[in-house]
Amino acid sequence: MQKITREILIDKAAFLLSTGVVGSVFGWRAGEFDYDVTPALFTDKTDLKNNFVFGDFCGANVSKYLIKATKNAEEKILVFLKPCDTYSFNQLLTEHRFNREKVYVVGIPCEGMADVRKIKEKAGEGILKISSTEDGVIVDTLYNGTISLKKEDILLERCKNCKSKKHVAYDELIGEDGTVLENDRFDEVAALEAMSPEERFNFWQNELSRCIRCNACRDVCPACTCEKCVFDNPESGVENKAAYNSFEEKMFHIIRAFHVAGRCTDCGECSRVCPQHIPLHLLNRKFIKDINQFYGEYQAGEEVGSRAPLVNYTKEDIEPNDAVNKGDK
């Protein structure tokens, strides 16, 4: 399979820019280190050549940026989307969040992105350089010399259980398209379900009590595109800025998960960005698992315009009291 390099993408972008197909390019900008790339909009070819990067650390799901970017853009925007990003892309289109005509999507294959936290866990602090290899990375460190790490050990949590290598939206594809994958993404949820209520309560109490209500999970989430979040709106009756106690943390995360239920594509950004390392995706996945089980398999973003399970029904749906008791049987 063709390895996607920054050069290939830069060439593609430069070509589309110069032919006037697009007016700007959404990609990733190089940072101070090898791992701190930032999503960025490029309009200038020199800037593109010097600062555009693509590699193991381009995990950020950039589809949400298109809402803002398309608002001001006169010309089309080129965006490079990984397979999982395309699901969010479609979901945003389903919700009329931007004009498809203003975007030129180049689908790029993805072999899984690296999590710098995991690298730091294994290589320790003081990382000087990270270089990619065929099946992993080599890390030069201040204190522990040079360490080589296997890709599967440093994958982002969400990439470990990649749901699909298939692009569900694109104008052009680089490389071959993949397929929807069999995966074990619900195993963690199932493990929690298998616990006693006390254990589950303690687990979540411990996880959620770390929340500092920085709102990173919400602000990065491609499903959270409200003009004003109910938790920011004093009129909503549930506004809370800083969680005063564990109730408010729960309230925030339950309601947030509920609001994105059926719309969440399971992109995993919430867990990736959480500065307190709370496994927030386990909340969203619970809803996805339940939805699949109760109402039939549904993948948000698979199709533009599909009807989300929570704005749909059948006359034979499961009764809530049975839904919670399903574990007892």
Site for another protein in 296-315 (CB under 8 A): 307-315
Amino acid letter at 322?
A: D
* CB of 107 or CB of 222, closer to another protein: 222
CA–CA dist 105, 77 (Å, integer): 8
DSSP-derived 3-state class of residue 49: helix
* CB of 315 or CB of 329, closer to another protein: 315
DSSP one-letter code for 242: S
Q: Does 31 help bind another protein (rule: CB under 8 A)?
A: yes
Cβ 15 to another protein, closest distance in Å? 23
CA–CA dist 329, 326 (Å, integer): 6
Question: Which of 228, 296, 297, 329 is in the footprint of another protein by CB under 8 A?
Answer: 228
Strand partners, 39: 28
Q: 């959620």: which residue's tokens?
A: 208
Question: Which of 151, 165, 167, 218 is in the footprint of another protein by CB under 8 A?
Answer: 218
Please check whether residue 242 is in contact with residue 213, taking contact to mean a CB–CB distance below 8 angstroms.
yes
Question: Which of 166, 215, 292, 304 is in the footprint of another protein by CB under 8 A?
Answer: 215
Q: How many helices (H) and strands (E) does the chain have?
A: 14, 9
Range 253-282, binding another protein (CB under 8 A): 254-255, 257-261, 269, 272-273, 275-277
DSSP one-letter code for 30: -
Question: Which of 157, 248, 266, 302 is in the footprint of another protein by CB under 8 A?
Answer: 248
Range 40-99, binding another protein (CB under 8 A): 40-41, 60, 65, 71, 94-97
Cβ 110 to another protein, closest distance in Å? 19
Q: Does 205 help bind another protein (rule: CB under 8 A)?
A: yes
Tokens of 30: 């190089």
For 189-214, give one letter per residue: b (16+ CB within 10 A) or e.
beebeeeeeeeeeeebeebbeebebe
DSSP one-letter code for 306: P
Question: Which of 230, 292, 298, 304 is in the footprint of another protein by CB under 8 A?
Answer: 230
Q: Give the containing element (helix H, strand E) for 55.
A: none
Range 174-203, binding another protein (CB under 8 A): 189, 192-193, 197-203
CA–CA dist 294, 320 (Å, integer): 10
Pairing relation of β-strands 103-107 and 77-81?
parallel
First to last CA, the chain: 47
Q: Does 143 help bind another protein (rule: CB under 8 A)?
A: yes
Interacting span for another protein (CB under 8 A) from 12-20, 39-47, 77-85, 175-183 = 39-47
* CB of 179 or CB of 321, closer to another protein: 321
Question: Which of 2, 19, 46, 245 is in the footprint of another protein by CB under 8 A?
Answer: 245
Cβ 275 to another protein, closest distance in Å? 4
* CB of 180 or CB of 290, closer to another protein: 290
Q: Give the containing element (helix H, strand E) for 307.
A: none
* CB of 151 or CB of 256, closer to another protein: 256
Cβ 250 to another protein, closest distance in Å? 7
Range 95-124, binding another protein (CB under 8 A): 95-97, 116, 124
